[in-house]
A and B are shown apart, each in its own frame.
Chain A
């Protein structure tokens, strides 16, 4: 009996191993596109319509859409690819796309299906540098759904409540930001009831790195061999974050509800938040009264008083990409679908305030008519694309650890810098 049991167990294990390793087989004329994208309630309505229209004009194509929170999507796509079951097409942020094209997991663009002639024609259609994160070995592997850069949104009512004039007193420098926050903050003992401003935790590649660059530091050296360059700049920024946090001036903390979410509510609990043009559509959807009141405004990303470089927050894109494991017909259909959705750039902009960074759209009347579009355009010119090397996700995590170490755990900025430098250098070396 015991022998039979052992035999049965061994058989079960063997079956399970072979079953798990078995590949997919078979194909037919019907094309199924598994499309994974990040959640955006405003964008969803538009895209559902485009997909429906596409399926009507392509009766042999079925599109199954899966939507997840953007942070969750990064993990799901990666896990699916690791298991050899990646979606047909998906979109990820510019800081997450590099590994897929370099690793050969996504297909080079089918230029004809996407409405282009070659890689150069794609680059010519978009703003300079926008296609770089998805370019590898001269081929283009993705198209940007949206360009996002972040500026500072201000609630004018909160400013006036603190005796400030938002039109003249808004922050130009990070030192201004501290000074204004001291005036705007309301505390119940140690507890912040109203914050003047709070950072966009934990998106440090987009917001902390430019602060370091303003002081002459760098995330990675120009030749790509050294990580965390410029000790003085890094230590000063980490010191600034420590002073900002609960163990310093107590002006904000990552453990409070994020400022961007509170801003729309207009509940007198936040005066300023870092966010993008898309926030305008979200304010309109969440709190139309506040949107229509005109009691909000947008100003550029501040710089340090002793800045040596004028750098705004880094911009990033979300790129559509197609799975290299999909068969040729499915890849072609996926690129056609992407091209069809992206052909509605003006509607994306006017309906949900998402910017497709084509030259045509950025020079259009529609873009110029968006509230504060000139502020975003100005900061776009002052900024640069977010770091998108293979180690970008790990760098993002390391920056978070460093900021939390100084803000929450009382680690000295010098020590946090040393740890950050050592860890990022190891990551860079491993990925090079």
Chain B
């Protein structure tokens, strides 16, 4: 008995000794008593340069934090590089950040192909690829890629939210789906099917289109002929506008759901015709800064004040500035939680340990939750209806958790 406990004691001592260097070393690369170095990659040039606003907003937000004393007394040093949305350049910039600048982690790198290019590299190097700015579902795979995490609602979650709305409100619906024939379209369609579960035969027609198609007119005619009375349009802005217009022209009156990426009033609904777009449903998760209902909202005012003071040249009507602001605040929370243990392991641990975290610029009721097995921070959205002039939120916040 004594011998056995001695052995245990010896074992524990050995463990403690082995663990000692790890616990004493509270700083990973890029972190120190005075600063935390963070990497970011955004397309400031090239075809997707509109997204560069997100990187600039994040930079402005950390400047604000630094002016206010930083996080836990440490200044945030953001090193942001341009990849022009070109995957080989993303690899070069990611390697520069990790191997040359030696950042603690990479935050909000933007784009699906670009992040795919560094997905494996970051996980082999064990450097967090945190809160990537893309909606693909593959970023939430902690078993195979424990160093990568998404942020915004993924496409499958969005599909599940439509399914849950339809099951609740139109249980006898016959659903027609128009979808873009690529990963994004298939991802969202998959979520819709998963959400319908054993009612998946409610879908009477699914019709793909190619981005090279000039119009989606013939697809809409086929969908109408299928006898569907609910139409789910999974399409990028140009094609969504075409589908809204064609549905109206053909005299078809389905309940029309248009996905989140095509909710722009100016970019989709206006060209489609406000009269044609009346009654259309979609989802949202951030506050629309142009929506007058938030004018007196304290969080909106805080955001507007931040924009005026720290990013005056930024566009206050753009959803990208709201997005970057909210993403940066999520990271702020993670770093606050991490305290003085600024290792790469702990950053991932804290990122996967957000509980009912609320952000001012997300819609009321939407909370961020993550865990060891849940790498999808935002999975809730709220339905909204276009009233002919603007979007009106209605109903509860709906949860679209993948795997729920």
Do A and B interact with each other, yes or no?
Answer: no
> Which chain B residues have a beta carbon within 8 Å of chain A's beta carbons?
none
